[in-house]
Amino acid sequence: MTDSSVEDVHAIQELNARYNFAVDETDGAAWADCFTATGVFNALLPGQTLTGTEELIDFMPIVTEAFGRMQHLTTYEIITVSGNETTQKCYLLFFGARDGRRNLVTVDRSTRADSLIRHAFGTRNAVCKDTVNPQSSTSPASST
């Protein structure tokens, strides 16, 4: 049994939208603002676990270099909130654009498990871990 409320689910949807648009617009500061000051992001790129605002901001050029300019589309979100823990299961379409070409990087189910902190100014990620089913994922190197 969860204690999900409409307000909690809406806050997570808004946080996800801000997160995706910040990455898609290569705005490292806006993306880092989706996390607490000591927030942790467990990236899909091997060996990349980021902690804190500065590391999150500095990661934007790295991920942009790996995937190109990105566009995220999530759909059919199932969001479960229990206290400060949330899980979102959804379908993810993830495109990378480089050299004038748009490439589909991932089409699959994605699961995001977050530890959240709620502030007067909005919900933030304390820890964010994305998991994408690797069977239909394409590595950045092969998508160019």
Give tens-digit pLDDT for 126-142. Answer: 666 555 554 344 444 44
pLDDT per residue as tens digits for the range 67-96: 889 898 888 888 888 777 787 888 878 888
Domain presence at residue 142: no
Query: What tokens appear for 113 in the block?
Result: 């498990």
Could you tell me which residues are beta bridge partners of residue 140?
none
Q: Please report whether residue 109 resides in a domain.
A: yes
Is 118 within a domain? yes
Q: For residue 19, give its domain range.
A: 6-136
Residue 42 lies in a domain: yes
Domain count, the chain: 1
Max CA distance (Å), the chain: 48
Q: What is the CATH number of the domain that holds 29?
A: 3.10.450.50
- Note whether residue 143 is domain-resident: no
Residue 144 lies in a domain: no
The answer to whether the CB of 115 falls within 8 A of the CB of 103 is: no
Q: Looking at the whole model, is its pTM more than 0.95?
A: no
Residue 141 inside a domain? The answer is: no
Contacts 24+ apart (CB under 8 A), 74-82: 74/16, 74/20, 74/110, 77/13, 77/16, 79/4, 79/8, 79/9, 79/12, 79/13, 80/2, 80/4, 81/2, 81/3, 81/4, 81/5, 81/8, 81/9, 81/12, 81/116, 82/2, 82/3, 82/4
Structural domain contains residue 48: yes
